[in-house]
Amino acid sequence: MLSRWPIRKKLSLQLALLVLLVAALSTAGLIGLYAYKDVVQSLSRRAGELPVAGDLSAQVSDLRMELHEARLLQDITERGIEPPLDHRIIREQFTMSLGTYRRTLVSYRDLLLANDADELRIGGTRPEHETVSKIDDILRQLSEMDRSPQWMADDLQVTRADDLVRKLQTLTAVLPSFLHERFKNFATEARGQYRSLIILNWVAAIMAATMLVVCGLLFYIWIFRPLKVLIVGSRRVAAGDFDHRIKIHGKDEMAELAAAMNEMTERFQVTCADLDRQVRERTSQVVRSEQLASVGFLAAGVAHEINNPLASIAMCAESLEMRHSSGTLSEPDQAEGVRTYLQMIQEEAFRCKEITEKLLDFSRLGESRRSNTDLRELVQGVIDMVAHLGKYHEKKVVLAPSKSVIAPINPQELKQVMLNLIVNGLDSLDAGGQVTVELGIREGMAEIVVRDNGCGMSHEVLEHIFEPFFTRRRSGQGTGLGLSIAFRIVADHGGQIKAESEGPGCGSRLRVTLPLAGANKELDHRHQAA
């Protein structure tokens, strides 16, 4: 039932428990304080009776002394001795002492009445009032005797007065005993009450601690634990686990928030699935379009490259056919022209064959056997081969001094790359120009730089230089596939090739980077798995 309550009601319940806790502790403390106050007040008020009772005892003693003096005076008079004092003087002293006693007794009675009105905890004053009433009766009798001027001269009257004063002394002595007895009983009562207050305080403290634990437990169950579940679930969803659903039992705001987040995640998952499907469809469409565009581009390039030699072949064949139809082929002066046409047909046919072979090389690029090879020796071998070609005898190719660099490569494929780069560099030179090949290690990779001081390249040429059938050779020859094949070979080796030039007339650089031996284990493992 409580799990269905909203958080506001749950927090109100916890606040009520805390208020009850504070009230219990405050009540226990106030009870103890008021009990202490009552004890102190009762002791203070009742203790004020003791000095007055002491004064009454002293004043009764004075009355007895005066009666004793009266007896001595009578004995002296009977013996015929002149008395030192007169009976009247002793009677006046007795009257004054009796008045003083009466006034003190009135004060004592007022204290009793005040304590009765305050309802002090030490106990009632009924025995004291009864004793005071008896004392009043004795005082009344003594006052009646004291009205006679010569009563002290009468031995019977003095004896009677002495008996009354003895009773008065006895009653006066009893007054403090009542209070002493009550103090003794009050001490026992206070001790029991002290134990009760201690037990009450312990019970209140235990109840307070229990309520505090219950409040903390309820706060954890209703607030902290659902928050923790929400945070953990949100992090899982944020990490990509869209199948996760947050589960919180109950019907409060936390459960509503969890349900809303689950609904949001489910909608997001459906949306992502739909977007993923659309992306796959669009990707398939783009791939198909790219494939068709590549096929079209390749077809256009092949058609463009083969069209020229085919046109030359067709023109030569047509010329030979016309001469054959006119019957002039048998003439001796036409033999040289026929030979020229046949050579042109042969050259153009071989040119078509070269184009198709390079296309086959371009399509066949893939996995090949590789071994750790000294790049300096490989590059030097390519330079030595190119240096013997007669058409480059007016141009120079040099290898800059360098140390040996070992890389895991396919030697034949990399020779083809270097041959393409060096030949392209030589083709861009004028007579007397130079191609320099530099070899070294840079940022943990083997680096080969083919540098020339030839015609250079524009920004447009740099953007398209590695595309198939793209060529800007000065001779107008070439298929435009050499650098494309070199790019694919270097990429297949896990390296990169980059063309650089400051502009036309400023020369150019072709920079090749390849993994060093032992630095391309991941690529080797991938090749072995393939």
Q: List the domain boundaries for the chain.
A: 2-221, 246-364, 368-529
Which position has the higher pLDDT, 458 or 192?
458
Position 328 scores a pLDDT of 62
Closest alpha carbon to 425 in 405, 465, 400, 452: 452
Q: For tokens 């047509």, what's the residue?
A: 318
Q: What is the pLDDT of residue 267?
A: 86
Q: Which pTM value belongs to this model?
A: 0.39
- Name the token pair of 161: 């007065």
Confidence of residue 1 (pLDDT cuts 50, 70, 90): low
Question: Which token pair is 298?
Answer: 């390749």
Whether the per-residue pLDDT at 366 is higher than 60: the answer is no
DSSP classification of residue 257: H
99 vs 36: CA distance, rounded Å: 40
Which one is predicted more confidently, 119 or 9? 9
Neighbours of 52 (CB within 10 A): 19
How far is 427 from 474, CA to CA, in rounded Å? 7
Provide CB contacts within 8 A for 78, sequence distance 6+.
Answer: none
- What is the phi-psi region of residue 263: left when phi exceeds 0, alpha when psi lies from -120 to 50, beta otherwise? alpha
How far apart are the C-alpha atoms of 311 and 31, rounded to whole Å?
A: 122
User: Nearest 5°: phi and psi at 154?
Assistant: -95, 120
Beta bridge partner(s), residue 408:
372
Q: How far is CA 132 from the centre of its chain?
A: 82
Which of 254-258, 269-273, 326-330, 421-425 is predicted least confidently? Answer: 326-330
Indicate the residue type of 462. Answer: L
What is the pLDDT, as a whole number, of residue 519? 55
**127-140 tens-digit pLDDT:** 888 888 888 888 88
Q: Is the pLDDT score of 35 beyond 60?
A: yes
Task: Give me 438's structure tokens.
Answer: 């530099």
In this structure, whether the domain defined by 368-529 belongs to CATH 3.30.428.10 is answered with no
| Per-chain mean pLDDT for the chain | 77
| Residue 252 near residue 222, CB atoms below 8 Å | yes
Q: Is the dihedral of CA 81, 84, 88, 93 positive or negative?
A: negative
